[in-house]
Copies of this chain bind each other. A is one copy, B any other.
């Protein structure tokens, strides 16, 4: 099955439920909610209905598939799926302000249109709506115990997200980041919410803690592999495929896995050259980008990163195996993982 087919099965329900979670409660509040709806891809800057790129909705799909795989009814998990997507989008709205990135998904970022003050408040609103969406599990006969477990799991993921964000921002301020710190950071910033996505789906489906934990670890390892894959594409991705210009992460001197690997390499001369290039003010020019790519290649940074992505990917598949579950949804989770990471399913 193609990645699109896996997503298409759930997307209409997810969009419908998200619209429910972010509905305008009263016309006087429309101006506030419409900014959130702009960010989610439903309206344009003038709040006219459109169909914009609204992201993949990866977290909701993961949640619903995990629920189904664990023997639950994905319909029951929809409010949790929406909550996960809203948390993700809250973090993006704040991220864009923090990074001063004027674009998100090829559209102007919220803060770039309405200013940082409203941007902060729109992010806060999406966060609160995520929490309120989760309360709708009670309309779908999910037991109080499972609701409480889902709520705690989501809050813990949000804390990890904030902690990861703290270190991501701190890392930008200095060069001495080691590999363990980097992996810890992406585990929090990217891994935790994907972990919670699979975990919440399983929580709605079952009380089997070992099974829930396997889905949690599947999501976490998938998240790690996914982030490292993204790091690799940020240096060597084909612009035709990624939709971004070549080597953008290198140009912007992002501390991605290949770069952190090179900065910590035992070849001190090459590591020093890297550090020198990364200590410059502002973005790198074409010649500096070329030098960095040569250095990364020479140090084996690409191969190292690809091996790391592969390791996390294999671990994710093993986490699925350990559930002992075999059904169509479980196969879709395996295909989803393979296709996301550019492997043949």
Contact = CB atoms under 8 A, between A and B. Distances in A.
A32 to B, nearest CB: 4
Contacts of A116: 97-98, 116
Contacts of A127: 124, 127
Nearest to A159: B128
Query: What bracket does the count of chain A residues touching chain B fall in?
Result: 35 or more
Contact of A152 (B120, B135, B158, B162): B135
B144 A131 contact: no
Given A132-B156, A144-B145, A148-B144, A121 B162 contact: yes
A256 interface: no
Interface string A105-141: 0000000000011101101110111011001001000
Contact of A124 (B31, B94, B138, B155): B94
Copies of this chain in its oligomeric complex: 2
A13 interface: no
B98 A120 contact: yes
Interface string A16-60: 000000000000010110000000000000000000000000000
Contacts of A227: none
B135 A155 contact: yes
A49 to B, nearest CB: 21
A148 B135 CA distance: 8
Contacts of A138: 148
Given A135-B151, A135-B152, A163 B29 contact: yes
A147 B144 CA distance: 10
A31 B135 contact: no
A14 B308 CA distance: 46
Nearest to A151: B151
A193 to B, nearest CB: 12
Nearest to A94: B120
Contact of A117 (B98, B117, B152, B167): B98
A169 interface: yes
A103 interface: no
A56 to B, nearest CB: 23
B166 A31 contact: yes
A69 to B, nearest CB: 27
B125 A98 contact: no
A165 interface: yes
A170 interface: yes
Contacts of A117: 97-99, 169
28 contacts: A29-B163, A31-B166, A32-B163, A94-B120, A94-B124, A98-B120, A99-B117, A117-B169, A118-B166, A120-B120, A121-B162, A121-B166, A121-B169, A124-B127, A125-B159, A125-B162, A125-B163, A128-B158, A128-B162, A131-B155, A132-B152, A132-B155, A132-B159, A135-B151, A138-B148, A144-B144, A144-B148, A151-B151
